């Protein structure tokens, strides 16, 4: 069967969400992630980026208003379907690391999906090697530095080879060399991706299109670099020109 180009992998329709304490975090989000696309999700603190990503990864049940479609089919209450397809690296790596050592942590998802332990450990080590972090394999995850935790959390998701990768602030807390390495890995990764970040220079390096979130909505979307060169649009949405476009 011939597939149309730029088929939508994920469609989000009028997604609304209020946290149990009443805070309205998503106020009618609409967008699509297209086949082969690396999409940046940018916006000021509290604009709803993490809430949106946790919905996409099936970590929060849909609250009744709105829908998420995977390859054109509504997920409804089948969060497991989202979890299988979308691998999310959380904003706080401590939400993701809990095994007694790094190798077991990176292998955890594979083992829980039924892969034989020694094979899962081999795959986990290979992924740590691509991230220049095999030396962390026997370390206790909770004793790692912030940047090391982020690299290990990334390894855990990459080991699972999800169809779609969602990343929440993957460069935050990384030193310049580790940040560049993560950028190179994300550029080389042949997967559709949605990347929430305040690091607009990283978004420009990795992504081809961006969504700007403001108060739980998509306030603007467009191709890169154009969208992130529009200073007035960025200012209206609580953002600033990325360093590479800023005269200062």
Ligand X SMILES: Nc1ncnc2c1ncn2[C@@H]1O[C@H](COP(=O)(O)OP(=O)(O)OP(=O)(O)O)[C@@H](O)[C@H]1O
CA 137 to chain centre: 23
Closest CA to 234 of 208, 209, 214: 214
The window from 30-38, 60-68, 86-94, 151-159 that contacts Mg ion (CB under 5 A) reads 86-94
CB of 12 to Mg ion, least distance (A): 17
Residues of span 78-117 touching ligand X by CB under 6 A? 91
Q: Does the protein bind Mg ion through residue 11 (CB under 5 A)? A: no
The site for ligand X, by CB under 6 A, has a size of 13
Q: Which residue is nearest to Mg ion (CB)?
A: 50
Q: Does the protein bind ligand X through residue 238 (CB under 6 A)? A: no
Task: Specify whether the CB–CB gap between 33 and 194 falls below 8 A.
Answer: yes
- Residue 45, CB-side half-sphere exposure with 13 Å CA sphere: 0
Closest CA to 206 of 221, 226, 220, 192: 192
**194-213 per-residue burial string, b: 16 or more CB within 10 A, e: under 16:** bbbbbbbbbbbebbebbbbb
Task: Specify whether the CB–CB gap between 15 and 26 falls below 8 A.
Answer: yes
The window from 43-51, 107-115, 153-161, 178-186 that contacts ligand X (CB under 6 A) reads 43-51
Site string for ligand X, 16-35 (x = CB under 6 A): ---x-x-x-x----------
Task: Specify whether the CB–CB gap between 107 and 141 falls below 8 A.
Answer: no
The correct pick among 51, 96, 171, 237 for binding ligand X (CB under 6 A) is 51
Q: Does the protein bind ligand X through residue 11 (CB under 6 A)? A: no
Catalog residues that contact ligand X under the rule CB under 6 A. Answer: 19, 21, 23, 25, 43, 45-51, 91
Give contact residues for Mg ion (rule: CB under 5 A).
49-50, 91
């Amino acid at each position: 069967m011939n597939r149309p180009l730029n088929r939508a992998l994920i469609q989000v329709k009028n997604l609304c969400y209020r946290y149990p304490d009443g805070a309205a975090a998503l106020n009618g989000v609409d967008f699509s992630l297209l086949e082969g696309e690396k999409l940046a999700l940018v916006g000021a603190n509290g604009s709803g980026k993490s809430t949106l990503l946790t919905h996409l990864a099936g970590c929060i049940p849909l609250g009744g208003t709105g829908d998420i479609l995977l390859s054109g089919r509504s997920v409804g209450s089948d969060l497991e379907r989202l979890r299988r397809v979308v691998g999310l690296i959380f904003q706080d790596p401590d939400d993701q690391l809990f095994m007694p050592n790094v190798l077991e942590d990176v292998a955890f998802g594979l083992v829980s999906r039924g892969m034989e332990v020694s094979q899962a450990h081999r795959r986990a080590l290979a992924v740590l090697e691509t991230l220049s972090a095999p030396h962390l394999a026997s370390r206790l995850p909770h004793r790692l530095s912030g940047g090391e935790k982020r690299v290990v959390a990334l390894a855990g998701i990459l080991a699972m080879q999800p169809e779609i990768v969602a990343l929440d602030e993957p460069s935050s807390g990384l030193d310049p060399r580790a940040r560049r390495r993560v950028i190179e890995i994300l550029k080389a990764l042949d997967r559709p991706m949605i990347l929430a970040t305040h690091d607009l220079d990283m978004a420009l390096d990795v992504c081809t299109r961006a969504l700007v979130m403001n108060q739980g909505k998509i306030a603007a979307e467009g191709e890169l670099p154009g969208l992130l060169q529009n200073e007035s649009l960025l200012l209206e949405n609580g953002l600033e020109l990325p360093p590479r476009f800023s005269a200062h």
